[in-house]
């Protein structure tokens, strides 16, 4: 695949002609409606085996080699009688594909969001997943677990695609994470045993292959208690079946003493020594209740990954990627109207509807635009596209991470899954 950014005057026909491929191949690769107008700034995937690079002023084979992470001699071989000393501006070079990296890929799915369509989502994208984190079983202050009704069809869909289902345990109650529930469980050995007894029973009954703890907003007072609880969980799980997986989702920190109830209860280094791997939640810088900005800006993600690598082996690091964006109504007022969650394709549709060009922020590596709605209110939209996703995939490869995961399966994202296949070989464990 090659990522193409639509310019003024482009049509599907003109783009297809420039790459010498049928229009229908572009339509199919991007799941486009042929009657829709292209949006300036929209990304399209061009289904070619490799990449076409147009020579720019100042280009050299060395710089092009670095840009695409492909050896100079491979570029020379792919372009026949190319004279490296005679590169002309506008010349087209074919860049062969680099070897694909083997990674683990996971995705969270929340039946409260996807409802009866949950198995369909898994069936559609399961070839690109190693794990499916089914969200969530709620732990209560008395050590009981609130059942997740209707997860069996999702588990069956996962197995049909050789995806390993993980049971997600949370301290979630009445729409938010509860520090009181966490404190009650983490400071009572009997309650911990009760939770683990019930969790393992459910895993056996339903066919879960792992337990994923998503305990959030723990506060500093529960930091060591959470580590101790995870030690007990590992001991119990591995005693039942050595193949059982123990994972955990952690807040995005950039230093050990980071202030805030969300961060203080998560000890990267200690937890990293216990669990099989960690889902680092590298998203929500731009969030529905905050001011407009990229949801997962690459510069911020890189800071979290750098800190994580200083505390946790790279083989245990799964980097988070959002499958959504937000549409904020301006002006932003703290405590005011929350932003609307949108999918990748929704972002392009909004830009088309309001005749706006999609801009791209180089620092955060994310697309955005503004528009005026029918009531005269201004909006700011940030989402993900082929460029922003490729930047994240490049970071995973550059850092040598175990892999990456998504929050959350709910909206169609055809470009994402095509890009996964173009960059990686997805590991399967079942």
Tokens representing 137 are 């079983």
Which positions are annotated as active-site residues?
216
Same domain, residue pair 108 and 62: no
The answer, yes or no, to whether residue 335 has pLDDT greater than 90, is yes
Domain match, 271 and 319 both: yes
pLDDT, position 99: 80
Give the three-class secondary structure for 186: helix
Domain co-membership, 363 together with 389: yes
Last residue of a domain, one of 95, 121, 152: 95
pLDDT tens-digit map of 231-259: 999 999 999 999 999 999 999 999 999 99
- What pLDDT digit, counting tens, does each position of 355-391 carry? 999 999 999 999 999 999 999 999 999 999 999 999 9
The structure tokens 């929704």 sit at 346
Report the CATH number at residue 75. Answer: 3.10.350.10
Q: Quick one: pLDDT band at residue 20, thresholds 50, 70, 90?
A: confident
Residues spanned by the domain of 17: 2-95
Inform me whether the pLDDT recorded for 353 exceeds 80.
Answer: yes
Q: Which phi and psi angles does 369 have, rounded to 5°?
A: -170, 165
Q: What is the DSSP letter of 316?
A: G
Residues 91 and 168 placed together within one structural domain of the fold: no
Is residue 282 within 8 A of residue 252, CB to CB? The reply is yes
- pLDDT-derived band at 77 (thresholds 50, 70, 90) equals confident
Residues 176 and 135 in one domain: yes
* For range 180-199, the mean pLDDT: 98
Q: Please give the model's pTM, rounded to 2 decimal places.
A: 0.92
CATH number at residue 154: 3.20.20.80
Asked if residue 300 and residue 194 are part of one domain, the reply reads yes
Residue 31 DSSP code: T
User: How far apart are alpha carbons 247 and 238 in whole angstroms?
Assistant: 13
49-58, 177-186, 417-426: range with highest mean pLDDT: 177-186
Task: For residue 270, count CB atoms less than 10 angstroms from its CB and return exposed for 0-12, middle for 13-18, buried for 19 or more.
Answer: middle
Separation between Cα atoms, residue 252 and residue 319, nearest integer Å: 10
Confidence grade of residue 69 (pLDDT, cut at 50, 70, 90): confident
No. of helices (H) and no. of strands (E), the chain: 16, 21
Last residue of a domain, one of 59, 76, 95: 95
Residue 48 confidence (pLDDT) = 84
Res. 34: pLDDT tops 80: yes
Q: Is 82 found in the same domain as 200? A: no
> What is the dihedral angle through the alpha carbons of 224, 226, 231, 233, rounded to the nearest 10 degrees?
160
Residues 211 and 345 in one domain: yes
Residues 276 and 370 occupy one common structural domain: yes
Residues 388 and 419 reside in one and the same domain = yes
Mean pLDDT for the chain? 96
Q: How far apart are CA 82 and CA 63, in angstroms?
A: 16
Q: How many domains does the chain have?
A: 2
Same domain, yes or no: 120 and 40: no
Lowest mean pLDDT among 47-61, 129-143, 344-358, 381-395: 47-61
Q: Is the pLDDT of residue 73 over 90?
A: no
Given a cut of 90, whether residue 83 has pLDDT beyond it is no
Give the mean pLDDT of 348-361. Answer: 98
Last residue of a domain, one of 56, 80, 95: 95
Instruction: Examine the domain organization and report whether 161 and 298 are in the same domain.
Output: yes
The pLDDT value given to residue 281: 98
Q: Is the pLDDT of residue 145 over 80?
A: yes
């Amino acid at each position: 695949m090659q990522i193409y950014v639509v310019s003024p005057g482009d049509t599907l026909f003109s783009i297809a002609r420039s790459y010498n491929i049928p229009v229908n191949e572009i339509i199919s690769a991007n799941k486009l409606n042929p009657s829709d107008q292209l949006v300036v700034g929209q990304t399209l995937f061009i289904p070619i085996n490799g990449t076409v690079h147009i020579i720019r002023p100042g280009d050299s084979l060395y710089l092009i080699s670095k840009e695409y992470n492909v050896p100079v001699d491979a570029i020379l071989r792919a372009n026949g009688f190319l004279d490296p000393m005679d590169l002309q501006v506008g010349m087209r070079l074919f860049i062969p594909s680099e070897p694909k990296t083997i990674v683990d890929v996971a995705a969270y799915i929340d039946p409260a969001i996807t409802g009866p369509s949950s198995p369909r989502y898994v069936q559609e994208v399961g070839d690109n997943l190693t794990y499916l984190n089914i969200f969530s079983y709620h732990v209560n202050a008395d050590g009981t677990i609130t059942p997740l009704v209707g997860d069996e069809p999702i588990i069956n869909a996962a197995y049909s695609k050789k995806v390993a289902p993980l049971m997600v345990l949370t301290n979630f109650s009445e729409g938010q994470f509860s520090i009181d529930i966490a404190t009650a469980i983490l400071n009572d050995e009997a309650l911990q045993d009760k939770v683990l007894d019930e969790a393992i029973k459910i895993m056996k009954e339903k066919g879960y292959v792992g337990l994923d703890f998503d305990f959030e907003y723990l506060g500093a007072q529960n930091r060591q208690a959470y580590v101790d609880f995870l030690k007990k969980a590992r001991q119990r799980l591995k005693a039942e079946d050595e193949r059982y997986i123990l994972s955990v989702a952690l807040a995005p920190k950039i230093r050990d003493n980071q202030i805030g109830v969300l961060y203080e209860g998560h000890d990267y280094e200690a937890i990293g020594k216990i669990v099989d791997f960690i889902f680092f939640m590298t998203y929500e810088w731009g969030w529905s209740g905050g001011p407009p900005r990229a949801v997962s800006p690459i510069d911020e993600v890189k800071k979290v990954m750098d800190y994580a690598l200083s505390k946790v082996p790279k083989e245990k690091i799964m980097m988070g990627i959002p499958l959504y964006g937000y549409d904020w109504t301006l002006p932003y007022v703290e405590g005011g109207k929350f932003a609307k969650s949108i999918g990748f394709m929704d972002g392009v549709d909004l830009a088309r509807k309001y005749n706006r060009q999609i801009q791209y922020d180089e620092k955060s590596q994310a697309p955005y635009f503004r528009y005026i709605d029918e009531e005269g209110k201004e909006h700011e939209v940030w989402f993900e596209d082929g460029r922003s996703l490729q930047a994240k995939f490049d970071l995973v490869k550059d850092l040598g991470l175990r892999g990456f995961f998504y929050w959350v399966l709910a909206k169609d994202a055809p470009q994402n899954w095509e890009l996964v296949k173009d960059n990686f070989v997805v590991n399967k464990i079942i």
